């Protein structure tokens, strides 16, 4: 790798990222000794201190370890989650069984005294450009003091819609401002899309596992769910989907093709093109949830499926809540052939989004600060994921597996044996620690041994202690020692 001295990323960080990628790709395997520090410094034309700083960063991320009088070695890492077993495609009622557990999890996640290691809501103020947003808001109020004295009317801020259209080019989408509907976060975008393309009693295809709040959303609209196998590395099974489309078993599909929640996986470009072709061929709308798309670790970003939408059967939904300003609740949708229907539904349900917040976000996007902010977020979350997976490898039972996400900040953990993570959730609640059990992510019982963890929090003593305590309880339930106690390298496995 050639380092870029003119980059806004320090040289030691570039070097650390290049070696981290080599470890994740299997080029540098567990137990392998890293090249001598002076040799790395010479080959990359950097100082010895730069290499030492890079090695320190890799140690902090749990990827390498120093051995006295021997050098630095690649640590054992968690095995990958393997392909989930086959399951029958059964239509299920999302209003049964899971809603009480969802309410219980939300109550715990909202409790200020609890240590949360699973909620997908960044809690570190450094993850958002709050000061910059505050200055822009104050400036707008000084220049346009009457902005809060006027009603915002549909279709909402033209400037923000123009900035969104400009940014959509990064995801391969060619849009105009008139094709974009502003929404109150991504959840409203998903709800409007479902209302536009389904009727009560219809069946909607979902990834399995999937984001658990889709179940109460479907239930509120009188819809049924049919879960489709989703590979932990490659995403939605298109063969299974095509069979369902041929049999006309679903009226719509909700999927996260670029960065899936909770697995963190992403579909290949070839599969995204095939997915777009399938929904256009069978005339079944795809509601594409792109909430984490701008947090993909690879650059350039992998295009959205919407980029390959021939006849407008893909409804793209996303928001800025995970990247800029959660409290603004500003999202948007590009709905193709369903644009007019969704725009009308938006107008009669919640009219329009705040003009002050919309203009503030538009100015921030136009200033160019957003791209720099995103680069910082991607690096931060990639490092956090490495460190969190390192903690899991040390403190959770031997045989634990975890996904290696393509972006975002959540990942999926599967425990060995007969560990029931709902029982683990209940026990941790007694110690004011909150995790999200795998049972929430499916209407079946196939993920009772799994859980989703999040690493969008400060990695302080409180967070690391919560991970350690969760691991101790998991070891107790599994009757298996932790990875650190076993002392055996946990080698990555290829699916």
Better-predicted residue by pLDDT, 287 or 7: 287
Can you give the pLDDT at residue 84? 62
348 pLDDT band, cuts 50/70/90, is very high
Q: To the nearest 10°, the Cα dihedral for 387, 393, 396, 399?
A: 150
Please report, rounded to a whole number, the percentage of residues in the chain having pLDDT higher than 90: 71
Query: What is the structure's pLDDT at 492?
Result: 34
pLDDT at 259: 98
| pLDDT value at 122 more than 80 | yes
* Average pLDDT value over all residues in the chain: 91
Give the confidence band of 2 by pLDDT, cuts at 50, 70, 90: low
Residue 169 has pLDDT above 60, yes or no: yes
pLDDT of residue 302: 95
pLDDT tops 90 at residue 78: no
Look at 57-66, 226-235, 294-303 and tell me which has the smallest mean pLDDT. 57-66
Q: In terms of pLDDT, which residue wins out, 478 or 94?
A: 478
- pLDDT tens digits for range 18-48: 998 888 777 888 778 999 999 999 999 999 9
Q: What is the dihedral of CA 249, 254, 255, 261, to 10 degrees?
A: -120
| pLDDT score at 6 | 66
Q: What is the pLDDT of residue 489?
A: 37
User: How distant, in Å, are the alpha carbons of 71, 450, 452, 487 from that of 415?
Assistant: 33, 6, 11, 18
Model pLDDT, residue 96: 65
Q: What is the pLDDT at residue 279?
A: 98
Digit-coded pLDDT (tens) for 141-162? 999 999 999 999 999 999 999 9
Residue 88: pLDDT band by 50, 70, 90 thresholds? low
In the predicted structure, residue 406 carries a pLDDT above the cut 50: yes
User: Does position 487 have pLDDT exceeding 70, yes or no?
Assistant: no
Report pLDDT for 4.
75
The pLDDT of residue 493 is above 70: no
């Amino acid at each position: 790798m050639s380092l870029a001295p003119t980059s806004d990323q320090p040289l030691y960080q570039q070097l650390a990222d290049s070696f981290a990628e080599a470890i994740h790709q299997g080029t540098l395997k567990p137990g392998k000794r890293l090249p001598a520090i002076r040799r790395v410094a010479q080959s990359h034309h950097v100082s010895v201190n730069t290499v030492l700083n890079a090695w320190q960063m890799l140690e902090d991320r749990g990827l390498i370890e120093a051995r006295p009088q021997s050098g630095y070695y690649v640590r054992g890492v968690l095995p990958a989650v393997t392909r989930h077993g086959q399951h029958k495609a059964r239509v299920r009622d999302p209003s049964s069984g899971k809603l009480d557990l969802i309410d219980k999890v939300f109550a715990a996640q909202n409790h200020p005294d609890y240590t949360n290691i699973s909620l997908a809501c960044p809690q570190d103020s450094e993850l958002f450009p709050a000061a910059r947003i505050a200055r822009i808001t104050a400036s707008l109020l000084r220049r346009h003091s009457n902005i809060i004295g006027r009603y915002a009317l549909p279709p909402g801020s033209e400037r923000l819609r123009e900035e969104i259209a400009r940014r959509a080019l990064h995801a391969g989408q060619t849009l105009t401002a008139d094709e974009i509907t502003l929404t109150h976060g991504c959840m409203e975008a998903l709800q409007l899309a479902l209302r536009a393309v389904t009727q009560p009693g219809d069946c909607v295809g979902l990834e399995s596992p999937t984001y658990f709040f889709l179940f109460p959303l479907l239930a509120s609209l009188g819809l049924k769910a049919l879960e489709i196998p989703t590979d932990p590395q490659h995403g939605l099974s298109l063969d299974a989907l095509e069979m369902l489309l041929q049999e006309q078993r679903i009226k719509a599909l909700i999927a996260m093709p670029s960065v899936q929640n909770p697995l963190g996986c992403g579909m290949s470009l070839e599969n995204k093109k095939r997915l777009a072709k399938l929904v256009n061929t069978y005339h079944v709308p795809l509601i594409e949830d792109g909430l984490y798309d701008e947090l993909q670790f690879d650059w350039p970003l992998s295009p959205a499926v919407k980029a390959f939408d021939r006849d407008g059967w893909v409804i793209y939904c996303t928001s800025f809540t995970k990247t800029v300003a959660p409290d603004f609740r500003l999202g948007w949708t590009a709905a193709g052939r369903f644009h007019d229907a969704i725009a009308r539904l938006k107008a009669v349900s919640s009219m329009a989004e705040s003009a002050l917040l919309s203009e503030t976000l538009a100015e921030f996007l136009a200033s160019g600060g957003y791209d720099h902010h995103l680069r910082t977020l991607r690096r931060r979350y990639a490092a956090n994921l490495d460190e969190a997976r390192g903690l899991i490898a040390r403190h959770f039972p031997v045989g634990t597996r975890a996904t290696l996400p393509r972006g975002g900040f959540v990942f999926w953990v599967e425990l060995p044996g007969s560990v029931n993570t709902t029982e683990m959730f209940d026990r941790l609640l007694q110690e004011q620690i909150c995790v999200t059990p795998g049972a929430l992510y499916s209407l079946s019982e196939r993920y009772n041994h799994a859980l989703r963890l999040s690493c969008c929090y400060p990695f302080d003593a409180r967070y690391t202690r919560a991970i350690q305590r969760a691991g101790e309880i998991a070891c107790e339930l599994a009757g298996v020692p932790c990875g650190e106690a076993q002392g055996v390298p946990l080698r990555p496995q290829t699916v």
